[in-house]
Amino acid sequence: MDIFHAIFIAVLEGLTEFLPVSSSGHMAMASHVMLVAPSEFLKAFQIALQFGSIAAVVVLYWRTFLLDWEIDAKILAASVPAAVIGLLIFALIRKTLIPNPWCVVWAWFLGGAVIILIEHFYPLKNDINQMKKITFLQALLIGACQALAVIPGVSRSAAVIISGQMLGIERKTIVEFSFLSAVPAMLAVIVLELIKTDVDVIRGQWAILVLGFAVAFVTAWAVIKFFRGYVKSHNLTVFALYRVLAAMAAGFYLNLLLS
């Protein structure tokens, strides 16, 4: 992996981690297009990028994490079903769906269609306009939906936001909850990956890891600030359309490879 690939993938991670478009799907397709072969170092690099994205959330919301234990408890509640379901099926997903780029294509397309249907045809109530008003039952249900993100292309952010809206949570509120709930969810995935990663491969390559962390941190910071303001007056339709178009473009590209 050269510097260009490192910066490009880091920017891609920061841009897509907290938007409802699936960072894992983009990372998988980017690696496929750029012919970056799976390796122990690539896994270590992706862990560094995820740490950078998480750090952006922690820095922006440190007061909430440190001072609001009620919200922290609900974030942890949302993490429980996601962790349990994820642990049960992660190994299967890793072997069957992650290596298959067509999984990303279909997840992008179907996810985009679901977002459009819910945003325009489902009667959203938006009664809950503060994270403190989210109940523990709602947090658990959101966490169960969040577990779908183990499927490449689904998007953890989209699963949290859409399920929250269907439970009557205001869009801006559930978007912020999705930022916060990303921290324990992503940390769990990182720990699982670290256990299986050979740390010897990163010796002598710290510069690329630090660069990736920094780029992902800055990009994720900017995206969180943007998205938090965007959803105050916009729905998710533009991201749904993007998903559909991305699925069509990726499908066309994969068909060209097969022809």
The count of structural domains within the chain is 1
Grade residue 212 by pLDDT with cuts at 50, 70 and 90.
Answer: very high
Position 250 scores a pLDDT of 92
DSSP-assigned states of every residue in 27-89: HHHHHHHTT----HHHHHHHHHHHHHHHHHHHHHTHHHHHH-HHHHHHHHHHHHHHHHHHHHH
pLDDT above 70 (res 259): no
- The pTM score is 0.89
Report the pLDDT averaged over residues 199-211: 73
The pLDDT tens digits for 239-256 are 999 999 999 999 998 888
User: Considering all CA atoms of the chain, what is the largest pairwise distance in Å, rounded to the nearest integer?
Assistant: 57
Burial (Cβ within 10 Å: 0-12, 13-18, ≥19) of residue 71:
buried
Give 135's strand partners: none
For residue 242, what are the domain limits?
Answer: 3-258
pLDDT above 90 (res 231): yes
Distances (CA, A) of 175 to 103, 104, 172, 233, 238: 25, 23, 5, 13, 16
pLDDT above 90 (res 217): yes
The pLDDT tens digits for 17-47 are 999 999 988 988 887 777 666 666 777 788 8
The pLDDT tens digits for 86-116 are 677 666 666 666 667 888 999 999 999 999 9
